């Protein structure tokens, strides 16, 4: 099977799995993205080990899982917001346990343990608030989170297809030699068209809000792709992992979501 065929089959499977989880239940959605958070953190820390950086892999992954779960409980109003304070204790626990690891460059290890939480766990944790950014009782508007996923998928797929077909002018050759202005522009246009269509069907937020979110996705998901490319170049890896055939790893597949999610979350919070 060619790489394109593997990429297509894997991509379709991921899309179906996420759509199913979003639509069927907020608990299924939360469970799926808890798993993705854990796998993404483990993958990130494993990448760093290739260049002799030794983050606290186990504690970082546990802390990231708790960060996700605590935000999920708050978002679903199953726990008070004060529960989030426990995450600060886990932060200091990273410092304390580093004293006993007795390995080189302790402060570098601590810094990258925290960076994994910020880069991977925080964005995925914020996804829990997308169906209910206003914290209204018993509210679960799956259309908002589903629409966000559609926008990122269209932007990434459109950029890939248009760039493959007519891409010539490099967007950021030093970091990502294959990404082109033509592909990025094509993906952006398709993303904004999709945002306009979403505004006609999903009325939980206005047409203008959908277009603004589409614009955020165009810019930030592209930067997410570039940042992850920079990360892989830094550790001299082609892919972040091998879990997803044709795509690479979790970070390869969700790099656009990781960067766009915090910005869209803030926007949704202010318009809620």
> Residue 139 in contact with residue 131, Cβ under 8 Å?
yes
- Spatial neighbors of 29 by CB under 8 A, at least 6 apart, are 21, 22, 131, 142, 145
Which residue in 95, 214, 104, 91 sits closest to 149, CA to CA?
214
Closest CA to 152 of 24, 42, 11: 11
CA atoms of 132 and 144, how far apart (whole Å): 9
Beta bridge partners of 248: 244
Q: What is the pTM of this model?
A: 0.92
Asked whether 251 and 235 are in contact (CB, 8 A), the reply is no
How many domains in the chain? 1
Give the containing element (helix H, strand E) for 178.
strand 176-180
pLDDT at 190: 97
Q: What is the pLDDT along the chain (272 residues), one digit of tens a residue?
A: 666 677 788 889 999 999 999 999 889 999 999 999 999 999 999 999 999 999 999 999 999 999 999 999 999 888 999 999 999 998 899 999 999 998 999 999 999 999 999 999 999 999 999 987 665 656 677 899 999 999 999 999 999 999 999 988 999 889 888 899 999 999 999 999 999 999 999 888 999 999 999 999 999 999 999 999 999 999 988 888 878 777 789 999 999 999 999 999 999 999 87
Sequence-distant contacts of 85-91: CB under 8 A, at least 24 apart: 87/63, 90/59, 90/62, 90/63, 90/66, 91/63
Residue 272 is predicted with a pLDDT of: 77
Domain that holds residue 208: 3-271
Q: Which residue has the tokens 């997308």?
A: 130
């Amino acid at each position: 099977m060619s790489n394109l065929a593997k990429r297509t089959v894997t991509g379709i499977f991921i899309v179906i799995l996420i759509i199913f989880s979003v639509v069927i239940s907020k608990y299924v959605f939360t469970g799926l993205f808890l798993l993705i958070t854990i796998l993404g953190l483990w993958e990130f820390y494993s990448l760093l080990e290739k260049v002799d950086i030794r983050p606290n892999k186990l504690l970082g992954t546990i802390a990231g899982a708790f960060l996700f779960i605590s935000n999920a409980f708050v978002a679903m109003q199953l726990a008070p917001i004060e529960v989030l304070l426990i995450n600060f204790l886990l932060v200091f626990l990273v410092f304390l346990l580093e004293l006993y690891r007795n390995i080189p460059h302790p402060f570098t290890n601590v810094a990258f343990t925290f960076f994994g939480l910020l880069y991977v766990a925080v964005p995925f944790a914020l996804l829990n608030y997308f169906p209910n950014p206003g914290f209204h009782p018993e509210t679960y508007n799956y259309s908002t989170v589903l629409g966000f996923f559609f926008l990122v998928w269209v932007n990434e797929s459109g950029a890939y297809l248009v760039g493959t077909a007519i891409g010539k002018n490099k967007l950021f050759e030093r970091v990502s030699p294959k990404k082109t202005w033509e592909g990025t522009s094509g993906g952006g246009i398709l993303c904004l068209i999709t945002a306009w269509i979403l505004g006609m069907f999903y009325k939980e937020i206005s047409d203008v809000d959908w277009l603004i979110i589409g614009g955020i996705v165009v810019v930030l998901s592209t930067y997410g792709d570039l940042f992850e490319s920079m990360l892989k170049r830094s550790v001299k890896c082609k892919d972040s992992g091998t879990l997803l055939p044709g795509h690479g790893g979790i970070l390869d597949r969700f790099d656009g979501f990781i960067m766009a999610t915090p910005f869209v979350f803030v926007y949704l919070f202010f318009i809620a």
